Amino acid sequence: MILVTGGAGYIGSHTVKELLRAGYEVMVFDNLSTGHRELVLAREFVQGDLLNPQDLARVFSRYQIEAVLHFAAATSVPESVENPEKYYRTNVLGTLNLLSAMVKAGVKHLVFSSSAAVYGDPQKIPIPEDHPKNPKNPYGRTKWMMEQVISDYAQAYGLRFVCLRYFNAAGSDPEGEIGEWHEPETHLIPIVLEVALGKRPYLEIFGTDYETPDGAPVRDYIHVCDLARAHVLALERLLSGEELASAYNLGIGRGYSVREVLEVCRRVTGREIPAREAPRRPGDPAILVADPTRAQKDLGWRPKYTALEPIVETAWSWMLKMSQKS
Ligand code: UDP
């Protein structure tokens, strides 16, 4: 049985779908604070909290867990700047509780959801895994702290692990079964699409004076199903005892500015999508683009979505479907 914490969330739910497709038995553990029960495709589901060690103890004593995929976390950069307490509790304490439970139960395999936010302002682009880590916001700091903690646990307790550093997850299941569903939404592509739907009056472009080609911040958008497949590949290799690096960047290796994202969304939706220039958002680096070579080499991972347009198409279909329901 594979334990997926945060399996009711965005990247977790898509990875559960991929795990089930690959034939794994999956147990989802989620407190549903930001996740949604409707997104859980696994039969086994426990509503529990990482901050409540008894919830974890119950799962590890009742089920034979082979490996853990740990997605459960608070994930918004701006919120982490305003409310670091929430981030250190949920992401640091929550992960420590999970690690203790794993050590107690003798569970030896872990895939950890990390982030490009561990790098901070890059010294070079694209960013390789050995780039200096200098996170710019509490969210990124929690992810980098936990990578280091996990590595110490691995040394001391014989844990085998891999940290996957996501760039900007985007898009939704092309079959329309599950998709991106945050309340409130803070991520760029769904916000732009909400403007297209008339749910918001305009997009605010956070910062137009960055040292980037058009002044707006640049990000590497990676399809959530490509992220999901990388988890399954990493898990297979961990379970088969193959040597892996401690961390892998997951991105397409190409950046798009906020203005370019807006243009692609206008093309895909055929709608006007008003936008206004706004001040920079605290904690945001100007540019984050992955060098994904290591994941390609070691995991045999090739993203299927290598351009933004088809990624936005899957996000748009899901959003239309959701808006027809509500
Ligand atoms: N962004 C923006 N307007 C919005 C939301 C986001 O201009 O309403 C920008 C944000 O400043 C960042 C990029 O879009 O440069 C991606 O932000 P998101 O929150 O989606 O992901 P992050 O890079 O923070 O993980």
Measured CA to CA, the distance from residue 288 to residue 119 in angstroms comes to 9
Omega of the bond prior to 78 within 30 degrees of 0, cis? no
Distance from residue 235's CA to the centre of ligand 1 (Å):
30
Angle at 245 between CA 68 and CA 227, to 5 degrees: 55
CB of 100 closer than 8 Å to CB of 157: no
Atom of ligand 1 nearest to the CA of 283: 24
CB of 35 closer than 8 Å to CB of 63: no
Residue with tokens 């190409």: 254
User: Does ligand 1 lie within 6 Å of residue 186's CB atom?
Assistant: yes
Question: Mean pLDDT in each 10-residue stretch from start to end of the chain (326 residues)?
Answer: 98 98 98 98 98 98 97 95 97 98 98 97 97 97 98 97 98 98 93 97 98 97 98 98 97 98 98 97 94 98 98 98 87
Mutate to test the pocket of ligand 1, among 219, 263, 287 (most ligand atoms within 8 A of CB): 219
pLDDT of residue 152: 98
Distance from residue 189's CA to the centre of ligand 1 (Å):
8
Atom of ligand 1 nearest to the CA of 216: 15
pLDDT of residue 156: 98
pLDDT of residue 91: 98
User: Does ligand 1 lie within 6 Å of residue 140's CB atom?
Assistant: no
pLDDT of residue 283: 86
User: Does ligand 1 lie within 6 Å of residue 77's CB atom?
Assistant: yes
Atom of ligand 1 nearest to the CA of 75: 25
CB of 121 closer than 8 Å to CB of 212: no
CB of 253 closer than 8 Å to CB of 291: yes
pLDDT of residue 325: 82
Mutate to test the pocket of ligand 1, among 206, 210, 277 (most ligand atoms within 8 A of CB): 206
> Residue 103's CB: how many other CB atoms inside 10 A?
15
Measured CA to CA, the distance from residue 207 to residue 115 in angstroms comes to 22
User: Does ligand 1 lie within 6 Å of residue 206's CB atom?
Assistant: yes
For residue 114, give both structure tokens: 């990390």
Distance from residue 191's CA to the centre of ligand 1 (Å):
9
User: Does ligand 1 lie within 6 Å of residue 205's CB atom?
Assistant: yes
User: Does ligand 1 lie within 6 Å of residue 118's CB atom?
Assistant: no
Going by alpha carbons, the residue nearest to atom 12 of ligand 1 is 217
pLDDT of residue 169: 98
Distance from residue 78's CA to the centre of ligand 1 (Å):
9
For residue 227, give both structure tokens: 């992220």
Distance from residue 309's CA to the centre of ligand 1 (Å):
18
Distance from residue 32's CA to the centre of ligand 1 (Å):
24
